[in-house]
């Protein structure tokens, strides 16, 4: 299965700043996703990162707040913009090779906003 | 919209016994259902996928059942070990079959 590397693994940021999280896969994959996970809660899908086009966002998430890039089939970034304490969470990248297949995850980025 | 319910309370099991975790969904029956394991500070790791036409799926000490009438999946770990302690998540496909919706997970603690 694909190996996914996420950077940074954790960060502490000031209110109002932005942070870009990177997701690198060791092979070409069809689909990449970005999730948010609050402690003890389920994973919430932020968006699907589309190669060569704009990401597809889920309800409650907008491009201005969470801009996403996917320049090729092995790499994607998620930016958390103008951060507030409510953005403190774990952000996870996952990949998928096709329908009805399991997703494979990076180890996430633990983000704390002061 | 589809909702997934997993026991929010931690499940404490004695080593060697069988642990059984429950995943209930509320709406349409999905084409398949997946179970994942998540350890603290790590991303979820895929364990098993069971399709709607399969009653049961096994992998080593793991067994998953899928009852579309009850809208429920059960996840069993036999001969449980302390190393099995983790949070177990179930996930169902959204309409697209590419994206998943997730339960909040059940924390399993295996006591030696």
The answer to whether the CB atoms of A43 and B49 lie below 8 A apart is: no
Residue range B42-56, pLDDT digits in tens: 999 999 999 999 989
pLDDT of residue A40: 82
All residues of chain B having their beta carbon less than 8 Å from the beta carbon of residue A108 are 41-43
Residue of A nearest to B41 (CA): A107
pLDDT of residue A22: 98
All residues of chain A having their beta carbon less than 8 Å from the beta carbon of residue B4 are 42
The CA distances from residue A32 to A27, A50, A71, B69, B98, in Å, are 12, 7, 12, 33, 10
For the purposes of burial, counting CB atoms within 10 Å of the CB of A21, is it exposed (0-12), middle (13-18) or buried (19 or more)? Answer: buried
**CA–CA separation, B26 and B34 (whole Å):** 16
If chain A, 114 residues long, is cut into consecutive pieces of 10 residues, what is the mean pLDDT of each piece? 94 97 95 92 93 91 97 96 96 89 94 95
Residue range B4-41, pLDDT digits in tens: 999 888 999 999 999 999 999 998 888 899 999 999 99
pLDDT of residue B96: 66
DSSP label at residue B98: S
CA distance B4 to chain A (A): 10
- Residue percentage of chain B with pLDDT more than 70: 98
pLDDT of residue A77: 97
User: Which residues in chain B belong to E strands, given as ranges?
Assistant: 4-6, 11-14, 19-25, 32-38, 45-51, 56-59, 62-67, 72-77, 86-93, 100-102, 106-111
All residues of chain A having their beta carbon less than 8 Å from the beta carbon of residue B40 are none
Residue B97, pLDDT > 70, answer no
Q: Which helix (H) or strand (E) holds A43?
A: strand A43-49
All residues of chain B having their beta carbon less than 8 Å from the beta carbon of residue A29 are none
Asked if B94 and B101 touch (Cβ cutoff 8 Å), the reply is: yes
* A&B contacts, CB < 8 Å: 53
**CA–CA separation, A38 and A89 (whole Å):** 5
The answer to whether the CB atoms of A40 and B41 lie below 8 A apart is: no
pLDDT of residue B57: 96
């Amino acid at each position: 299965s694909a190996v996914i590397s996420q950077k940074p693994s954790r960060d502490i940021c000031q209110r109002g700043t932005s942070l870009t999280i990177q997701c690198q896969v060791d092979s070409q994959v069809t689909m990449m996703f970005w999730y948010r996970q609050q402690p003890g809660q389920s994973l919430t899908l932020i968006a699907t990162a589309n190669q060569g086009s704009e990401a597809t966002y889920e309800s409650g998430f907008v491009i201005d707040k969470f801009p996403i890039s996917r320049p090729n089939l092995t790499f994607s970034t998620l930016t958390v913009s103008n951060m507030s304490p409510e953005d403190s969470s774990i952000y996870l990248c996952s990949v998928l090779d096709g329908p009805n297949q399991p997703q494979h995850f990076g180890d996430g980025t633990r983000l704390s906003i002061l | 919209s589809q909702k997934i319910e997993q026991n929010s309370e931690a499940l404490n099991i004695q080593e060697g016994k069988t642990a059984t975790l429950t995943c209930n969904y509320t709406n349409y029956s999905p084409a398949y259902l997946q179970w994942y394991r998540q350890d603290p500070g790590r991303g979820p790791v895929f364990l098993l996928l069971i399709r709607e036409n399969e009653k049961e799926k096994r992998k080593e000490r793991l067994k998953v059942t899928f009852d579309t009438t009850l809208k429920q999946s059960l996840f069993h770990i036999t001969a449980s070990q302390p190393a099995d302690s983790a949070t177990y998540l179930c996930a169902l496909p959204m309409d697209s079959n590419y994206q998943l919706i997730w339960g909040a997970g059940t924390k399993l603690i295996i006591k030696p």
